[in-house]
Amino acid sequence: MARISYVEEKDHPELAADIAKIKGARGGLINIYKLLLHSPTVTMTWFEHIGAIRWKTKLTPRLREIAIVRVAQAAKYAYALNQHVPHIAVPDGVSVEECEALKDWRASKFFREPERAALAYVDAMIAGPEVPDDVFNAMRKHYNEREVVELTVLVGTYLMHNRVFTALRVDVEPKKIEGCRVPSLPVIVVEDDPFTRLIPLVLDPKASEERRAAFADFMSTDESDFAGWCERVRQGSAGLYPAEVRMVTSEAEMRANLKDCVALVVESFRVGRDDLAAASRLKVVQKFGTSLVNVDVAACCERGVAVRTLRRIQNIAVAEHAFALMLASMKRRSGWAARPSDLTAIVVGSLARAPGICLTLGRRGGRLRRLRPRRGPAEPAGVDHRGRVRR
């Protein structure tokens, strides 16, 4: 039982403006604010600070919740655990199982290297006040200076949160609905393809670490900070992160997963009226390509399901590499151990010294063809997959 009285809205009309602001952001007047409202100025300062450290930082929602739940567990702070697990942590990408695993995160199968470095830092701050240099330096490798400051203040804030409300013996909030379900993540069903496998790496917190490392290596010539790129995409994902991404390899498997699906990504799989009828939550069909012959667009329109296309232009390093090897063969070069970006320079340099016409193959070759400086009256020409010459 709390050591001081709770401020009730009906008894304090003079606090109506402050209470309305709190309820607008929190969905209700929770017990911590009922205690703090004995000092309105302190209350609103607290409210603004908590809002900033939770919603206005560059920390990912998942990392934020990992840190908060870890602090609450270590401090045995029942109020924060009750508030965050599962109702906040799960929608922000930390499963109930992962929340439980945070109790002994070093021995768990969860958490990526950057998260483990952050957790070691959180634990050091809890044990504090000093944080060893090796712990700080290991964490610093993964986060920029702004993120370091925000993570540090977040941890300090929830340590303060624990101290203040444990001293006041705040009562744990009652469950809004007894036996309520854990909030579910949006389900995205994706036709499996070497390039669509990138989607879960961006949107699904449980994506394979092995695949994440493979894509980071594959994209390294174009994007050195793969993790940063993923985070930038997430920030523009219109609330799709975190999501449960289900990769499917057949139309039958796709149809078996349509019930919970809110977004569907297909390349060749057919999407017809029966599929749409089974997908009552579906909001959008994304075609990996530009031809919609396999999607019933009219049926989608009738059901209010948006249809989007994406022109397929894969990593041009494949074409660059192929042409570089062809040129190397013609010029009898050998012993190359270059990166695709180096090969680009060799290809363009070779084409710049070539005669006025250059033959390339297909769409990817067309991209390469446009890299060649024009010389004389002749323009570079290409040959498509049907043998037609294109300029």
d(CA 242, CA 205): 6
Domains in the chain, ordered, with CATH? Answer: 9-167 (1.20.1290.10), 187-310 (3.40.50.720), 317-390 (no CATH)
pLDDT truncated to tens, each residue of the chain (391 aa)? 889 999 998 899 999 989 888 887 767 888 999 999 999 999 999 999 998 888 788 888 889 999 999 999 998 888 888 888 888 888 788 888 899 999 999 998 888 899 999 999 999 999 988 999 999 999 999 999 999 999 999 999 999 999 999 999 999 887 653 333 444 578 999 999 988 999 999 988 778 878 888 999 988 888 888 888 887 887 777 667 778 899 999 999 999 999 889 999 999 999 999 999 999 889 999 999 999 999 999 999 999 999 999 987 655 555 666 677 677 666 654 454 544 444 444 444 444 444 444 444 455 555 545 555 554 444 444 444 444 555 5
Tell me the two tokens of residue 12.
């304090």
Q: Can you tell me the distance from the alpha carbon of 268 to that of 19, in angstroms, rounded to the nearest whole number?
A: 54
Give the count of alpha carbons within 13 A of 378, CB side only: 9
12 forms beta bridges with none
Which sign does the torsion angle of CA 94, 179, 81, 60 carry?
Answer: positive
Q: Which residues pair with 390 in a beta bridge?
A: 382
Structure tokens at 295: 């999607």
**pLDDT for res 330:** 67
Please give the C-alpha separations between residue 318 and each of 192, 229, 328, 336, in angstroms, as whole numbers: 20, 21, 15, 16
Please provide residue 284's backbone torsions phi and psi, each rounded to the nearest 5 degrees. -155, 140
pLDDT at 378: 46
Give pLDDT, residue 372. Answer: 52
- Whose tokens are 């074409």? That residue is 319
User: In whole angstroms, what is the distance from residue 236 CA to residue 266 CA?
Assistant: 21
Q: What is the DSSP string of 299-325?
A: HHHHTT-EEEEE-----THHHHHHHHH
Q: 171, 2 in Cβ contact below 8 A?
A: yes
Q: Which of 110, 55, 116, 123 minimizes the C-alpha distance to 88? A: 55
Q: What is the pLDDT of residue 150?
A: 95
Q: Which of 245, 239, 243 is nearest to 257 (CA)?
A: 245
Tokens of 152: 């540090």
DSSP letter assigned to residue 170 = P
Position 238 scores a pLDDT of 60
* Residues whose CB is less than 8 angstroms from the CB of residue 90 and which lie 6 or more positions away in sequence, other chains included: 96, 182, 183, 185
Distance CA 386, CA 256 (A): 38
H-only helix segments in the chain: 16-26, 31-36, 40-55, 61-74, 78-84, 96-101, 113-127, 133-140, 145-167, 198-203, 209-218, 226-235, 251-256, 273-278, 297-302, 317-330, 340-352, 362-369
C-alpha 251/C-alpha 202 separation (Å) is 24
H helix intervals, 95-219: 96-101, 113-127, 133-140, 145-167, 198-203, 209-218
| Separation between Cα atoms, residue 176 and residue 345, nearest integer Å | 62
CA-to-CA dists, residue 195 to 95, 232, 257, 321, 329, angstroms: 27, 18, 21, 18, 30
- The phi, psi pair for 95, rounded to 5°, reads -70, 165
